[in-house]
Amino acid sequence: MSDNGKSEQPKLNFKGQKSQTQPANKNQRADSSNSTNTSMDELFNSNTQLKAMTEGLRELRKELMSMLKREEIEDLIQKTISAIMSKIEETMSKKSKPKLIKELKHNMKN
């Protein structure tokens, strides 16, 4: 360090060549007013599409709700499961247990 409290740094000497750059011509520069208008148009179009989709979904929801009510759906599920269970019980009662076990083992191998 020197007497004035600053560290001494060596002076840098640049002896290379500065890269040659050219100013951008009008074709290369973005036209800010045009890009802003385009962005606003895209935003407006997106907003219009979202409104149309929202309305479409609202209509579909109404249609679905009018088709089946929750109680009807639960009743339909319960009846379907009951029918499947009764078919399984009927099939099992028709087959003897040893034959059923043999068939199950055969199915597990395949």
Decide if 15 is inside a domain. Answer: no
**Domain containing 84: what range?**
69-110
79 and 47 co-located in one domain: no
110 and 73 co-located in one domain: yes
pLDDT tens-place values along the chain, 110 residues long: 555 555 676 666 666 666 666 666 655 555 556 666 788 888 888 889 999 999 999 998 888 877 777 788 889 899 999 999 888 888 777 766 677 777 778 887 76
Tell me the C-alpha distance between 53 and 42, whole Å.
16
Q: How many domains does the chain have?
A: 2
Tell the residue number behind the tokens 């997106």, with chain if given.
Answer: 46
79 and 108 co-located in one domain: yes
Decide if 81 is inside a domain. Answer: yes
Whether the Cβ atoms of residue 34 and residue 26 lie closer than 8 Å to each other? no
Tell me the C-alpha distance between 95 and 103, whole Å.
10
What are 56's two structure tokens?
């479409």
Decide if 75 is inside a domain. Answer: yes
pTM here is 0.34
40 and 63 co-located in one domain: yes
Please provide residue 94's backbone torsions phi and psi, each rounded to the nearest 5 degrees: -75, -30
